[in-house]
Chains A and B, each alone.
Chain A
Amino acid sequence: MNKDFLKAGNHKKIISNYSSILDPIEIEKIISEAKSHTRLMYELGLDHYCFAKKAQKKQWRQRVSRLYYAGYNVSKAIRFECDGSFSTEVKDHSKVGDLPENFPDKATFLNEFKNLREDRNSADYDHLARKADLLKKPEEYEALVLSFLRHAHDHLANRGTILGAKP
């Protein structure tokens, strides 16, 4: 796994711009490396989801926070696979609901991930926040993120990323 791969910039643009000078084997290497990153981003999201699922019900702050990061990382994997974009800046969180045109229930995820982001901020930073102040219950977020992971699994697998079993 090449750690510097992501520093080189958008791999889709690189392939497109250098397609006349790169031979097919080189292009295939870039694609293969990109797919490995996509898979790992997806698995990071899945890890967060599994953590949230195992957390005790009363640990609502941890559950909401991890569920948000589950959604965020998987959304990142999809955007990376779709247009090659990747960012580690805080601003990238505003794109959590930006999904490809054909993604199932796209409008639902766009709106609900905004809710989840707002509630993650309360869970992580607001010492006065109570569970009752959440826009949605942790169980509802858990169902939302699970549905997102499943659609994302289909989406990425259909585009050639090799993933483990569907959650």
Chain B
Amino acid sequence: MRTETLDRIKTAFEERTGLLGLTHQDVIKGEKTVRVINVAHITDRLYDALNECLKEFDSEGNFHATLKVKSQDSIVNSAEAKLLLKVLSESQNINQHSFELDFFDRYTRSVSGAENQIISSANHIVTGRRGAGKSMLLLYSFKSRQRDGLPNAWIDMQAYSGREDEQAIADVIIELLHEIDFPADSIGDVLVIRHKIESENMLVKDLRKYVPKLRRLFATISRKNDIFIFLDDLHVFNRKMQNVLLDVLYSIFRGNKVYVKASAIETLLNAYNSTTQVGMQIPQDVQRLGLDYNLTMPDKAAAHIESILDSHARYAALPSIRRLSSSADVLPRLTWVSAGVPRDAINLFSQSMLKAIAGGKNRVTVSNVNMAASENLSIKLKDLQSDASSEAEALNIRLEEIRKFCIIDQRSNAFLIEINQNSESFKEILQLVQLRLLHVISEGITPKEAGTKFMALMLDYGLYTGVRAAASVELFNKDTTSVSAKDLRKLKIFKG
């Protein structure tokens, strides 16, 4: 009977924490049996779960169970590592419901302190490469407000991807009206206006007629508390209509204590059209919050990635991410192959763990990371199709040109390109950077005559591994140390 109750307590603890298959010992203390459950690292979250289980199955306090740190050789096969894999997988796609119960325990603050800005009463567009942590920053603001009981609306713009009709803008307004909790005495007006917008194919010029009414409706809430409207992944909304959507929203929100918080890949963003003056202009109407640590600051990027992985590791009852690594070289290599993009690093580390398990290793090795990175290219090429579908073909051609120039002609994984905002080739290269197929290693250097500035870039790791030439390719700054101007000047210029 005694052991049965302790078994139930342990099973409930495993289910509650996600740590399945933990080992234990039973220790006799006088007339009491104490169950000691072994974990790799103890946190207050684990004790909280265990205390709850004890209360649930033993309200009289006749039993006791506790935790003990026990290290094991093959940590990559442990219950904690399996939980980490699950946690890392959950963290790769962020939406308003992510980390419902313990968001703030698992959130890693940005090095630049962007959190203070995103929670302020101002319009913001968070920019950065795919996986840089844009949605996570929006979610920080969303959850902070939710915790304080302040009004919010989260719109996942992916739902409008591929829409070319103007009705898409009206549909965003309808979703907003669904998402916001209007006061009871305004519900009637909300239903009437929603019904009108829903009932016909509404063009933008017709929709604008409802702006005064919509302003009044939003004011019923914002009179008491300001409202934040989150537009996640704005760049997937039809590019020609992004500025129009922002313009319509701004005409409703401006001066009404309603603020836009959007996330977007910068090169795929069209927030304002200067000819028609439609949209939200940066920085007058909306501030840009850049969120990108790239290989121009390898040390900062490495520290940020390690702190993100550490916070997930601690949640999974591991002392740190380094405990899972076979050497001190694993994390610098991870930063390098992920080019400082947090989501890529998370994904690659998960893949590396699986490779270590499959290979019978106790911990993740540098070669596990290399293998995972070389297989990761297909995901990025898929992103190219979904994020930049209309330009995908041209970008693919440009990418292949650069790959040939680097790998076949120059036998180097890095190159220079002249900074020329009017050049089509330069614009395409910037898009390839946003899609993480090329990585910036220096924003601007002057290798030759004064007045001509060049950007230094590196090919994504997946683009040159697995090909025969890879062994003879010279790898630039693979240890993610700071880069010298002398080394940058040696790189060859791509003249696409």
Contacts and interface: CB of A to CB of B under 8 A. Distances in A.
Nearest to B29: A118
A106 B45 CA distance: 10
B29 A108 contact: no
Given A118-B32, A126-B30, A135-B66, A111 B47 contact: yes
Interface in A90-110: 94, 105-108, 110
B30 A112 contact: no
Given A121-B29, A122-B30, A133-B27, A107 B48 contact: yes
A62 interface: no
Contacts of A36: none
Interface string B380-424: 000000000000000000000000000000000000000000000
A118 B34 contact: yes
B292 to A, nearest CB: 34
Contact of A94 (B29, B47, B50, B61): B61
B30 to A, nearest CB: 7
B377 interface: no
A80 to B, nearest CB: 23
Given A106-B44, A118-B64, A111 B29 contact: no
A111 B27 contact: no
| A interface bracket (residues with beta carbon within 8 Å of B) | 10 to 19
B50 A111 contact: yes
Contact of A108 (B27, B34, B44, B64): B44
A122 B29 contact: yes
A115 interface: yes
Interface in B35-86: 36, 42, 44-45, 47-48, 50-51, 61, 64, 66-68
A107 B64 contact: no
A111 B48 CA distance: 9
A155 interface: no
Nearest to A114: B64
| B interface bracket (residues with beta carbon within 8 Å of A) | 10 to 19
B30 A121 contact: yes
A111 B66 contact: yes
Given A118-B64, A135-B66, A107 B44 contact: yes
Contacts of B44: 105-108
A122 B28 CA distance: 11
A114 to B, nearest CB: 6
A112 B69 CA distance: 13
A135 B34 contact: yes
A115 B47 CA distance: 12
Nearest to A125: B30
Contacts of A105: 44
Contact of A135 (B29, B42, B50, B51): B29
B66 A114 contact: yes
Contacts of B47: 107-108, 110-112
Contacts of A135: 27, 29, 34, 36, 66, 68
Interface string B165-187: 00000000000000000000000
Nearest to B30: A121
A94 B61 CA distance: 10
A107 B47 CA distance: 5
Nearest to A105: B44
A110 B27 CA distance: 19
Interface in A106-138: 106-108, 110-112, 114-115, 118-119, 121-122, 126, 133, 135-136
Interface of A: 94, 105-108, 110-112, 114-115, 118-119, 121-122, 126, 133, 135-136
Interface of B: 27, 29-30, 32, 34, 36, 42, 44-45, 47-48, 50-51, 61, 64, 66-68
30 contacts: A94-B61, A105-B44, A106-B44, A106-B48, A107-B44, A107-B45, A107-B47, A107-B48, A107-B50, A107-B51, A108-B42, A108-B47, A110-B51, A111-B50, A111-B51, A111-B66, A112-B66, A115-B34, A115-B66, A118-B29, A118-B30, A119-B29, A121-B29, A121-B30, A122-B29, A122-B30, A126-B30, A133-B27, A135-B27, A135-B29
The 6 A-B residue pairs with the shortest CB-CB distance in the complex, in nearest-first order: A107-B48, A107-B47, A118-B29, A108-B47, A111-B47, A105-B44
